Every structure is written in structure tokens, then in C-alpha cells.
Amino acid sequence: MTRSSHRQPAPEPEVWRALKAEGRLSFGRYMELALYGKGGFYTESVRIGGAGGDFYTAAQIPLFAAILARAAAEAWEAFGRPAAWQVVEWGGGQGEMAEAMASALGSRLPDGVHVRYTLVDVSESLVQRQRLRLEDGQRRVVFDWGQPAEELPTFAFANEVLDALPVERVRRANGNRWEQTDVVWDGHGLSLDWRPAHPDVAAFAEAHLPIPVGIEAEVCLALRPFFARVARLGRPLRALFFDYGIRSEEWASGLRPQGTVRAYRAHQVVDPLTDPGRCDITADVHWEAAMASAEAAGLRVVRLQNQGSFLMAAGAVEVLEAQITGPTTGRLEAARWTGQFKQLVLPGGMGERFQVLELEA
């Protein structure tokens, strides 16, 4: 058993109450409560972007929204230019992406086209921030926080959502056995304790993780119900998932012997057992497992490629040129747009680190 001593935070999040009542939680349950339970990170604590933020994403970059708006408008064309359709965004953060997307779509679509923009978020705190940002003013795009429509043609996307789905930490043991770890509270601190894996966890790991004996990794059982929800969206459907991830050949190489789980607070890497509910816990998306889960739900995998290649094919250069050649664009503003392009597209930044999974139905 490995020991990492930490004092319990105050006020006490739900994850602490569960640990004290049960003594131990599977890592996946611990991660779920630490992120989404009462008093959890996304429920109450998260700060996105800006000074003092815990992290920032492409959603805080206006050029990203402008390029995705172009991709959405092209999807609308491919759908047959319906009079009513929807955009669905999972994990809408503080609403920056939705606001910029709506503005860009409004300038791309002809009069009379109705766009329902549905934000799907498990955090009521973030939903309130989204409402404050988006409900004022008159826009051609109508925002909604209910269930996405199942009867409307749909363009859907999620940016850094799959990496926040709860994962179980596992390792392959001798004798072709699988073990998983629990988070244990002993009255003084938190520790990790290995035990035989639950049959569902072991079966998922055996199907998707080609790791050597002794190597740690993660399985995300939540991928299956997540993509089942995606599959219930209206047809035709185009869905994009932007995230950092890992491929099966990387797992098989043994280059990540302790897996990919880590935690962040105020842009700093911290111990995932430090102050649960006060830090972001994340893990790389296992792309083969994600694609298999999507296909099992009845979705078609179009391609998986790095973000830079996707954005270039989606017209990033043309969108950038439109932004920097406007009659009111000054040199400083043009430089900012160009910097965003480099950050999103070029190798060494998000363009190489992030991948895009494209699905259709």
C-alpha cells in the first residue's frame, strides 16, 4: 500500500463523506465524486482561464470558435440546408465558446434559419455562469439547457470532455489477471490499495489494454453510456471530440508505466489525492477504446487525426485571413489572431498534442 498523507479540507465535499462512511472507494468512484459530487471541483471550485484559473482550453481562444462555426455551417450545408437544426456542446465551461460560435454562425447563415444551441453540462455552477453570459441580448441562435432534440439535424462537439470522464486505475498482474486500485481513508490520510479487478473492469481492460505485466493504465467504463447518449441525437449527425489521448501502441510499449492520471490546480500539477474536490483530475483518452465504444453505440468513425490537421482542413487559414484583413483590424489585433493560429494549429502546441475524433450517423 502506498501512503500519501493529506488533511481533509473544509468545508467537506461529498467525496470526503463517502470515504469516511465507506472507508474506501474505487478510483473511478473517487474521481467521479471529487469532480462532480456535491462540493466537487466542477460543481463549485473550478476557475477556467484568466489570472488565477486552474487551466485554460481552446474554448478561450476566439479563433477556435470561428473555425468550428465554419465547420458547423458546412455541416448544415451537407445536411441539405434545413430550416431548423441544432448545435450541441458538451462541457460548455463558462459559455465563451457558445457565445463566439453563435456570433460567427449568425454571420454565416441566411435569414430564416433557426439554430437551437444546447449546452450539456453536469455542473450547475457552470450552467449558471453560462446563463449569465448568454441569456442577455438578442441573437439569431437560441440557447437551451434542456435535453438535446432527437428530431433535429445535429452538429455536436466536445472540447476536453472525454478526459474528465471517471476512470478506474488498473494493472495487469501475473497469470493474466487484472487488478484495480481503491482510494482508502484510514482516519489520517489517503492511500491507494490494489485488489482484484471487478469483472466489468477486467473485461474492459482485457478487450482494450495491451499492456505488459506490472504496467498501470486506466479504463473508462463511462465511454459506453456517453456515446450511447451521443447516438440518440438527431439525424443526420456530425460529432467532433477534441482531446489529448493515448493510442494502444503507446500502452503496449510500456512507456507510461504508471498510467496517465494526474491532477491540476492553478496551472500546477498536484497529487490526485490532494484536496479532493479542489483540483482537476484527468486522464488521457484511450482512443481505441473510445472508437470501439462509439461504434458499439451505432456511430460511424470517420477519422482520428491531430488537431492541427483537422483545423487546417476545416479552413483555419481562410478564417484567419478574414480576421486579420478586416478594415478595422489593427496590427496588434492581427498579431493576436496570428498567435492564436500558432497555438491551435502548429506542431509543438495544441495542434500536435490534441487529437480530433470525427463521428457520423
At 308-334, the pLDDT tens digits run: 999 999 999 999 999 998 777 888 999
Q: State the average pLDDT over residues 112-120.
A: 96
Instruction: Give 348's contacts (C-beta < 8 A, 6+ positions apart).
Output: none
pTM attached to this predicted model = 0.92
Helix (H, G, I), strand (E, B) or coil at 135: coil
Residue with cell 486522464: 283
Q: What is the pLDDT of residue 248?
A: 97
Helix (H, G, I), strand (E, B) or coil at 84: strand
Q: Which three cell numbers stand for residue 291?
A: 472508437
At 56-85, the pLDDT tens digits run: 578 889 999 999 999 999 999 999 999 999
Q: What share of the chain is helix, strand, coil (3-state, %, to 5)?
A: 40, 25, 35
Domain covering 2-52+164-227+243-290 in this structure, CATH number? 3.40.50.12710
> What pairs with residue 157 in β-bridges?
89, 240
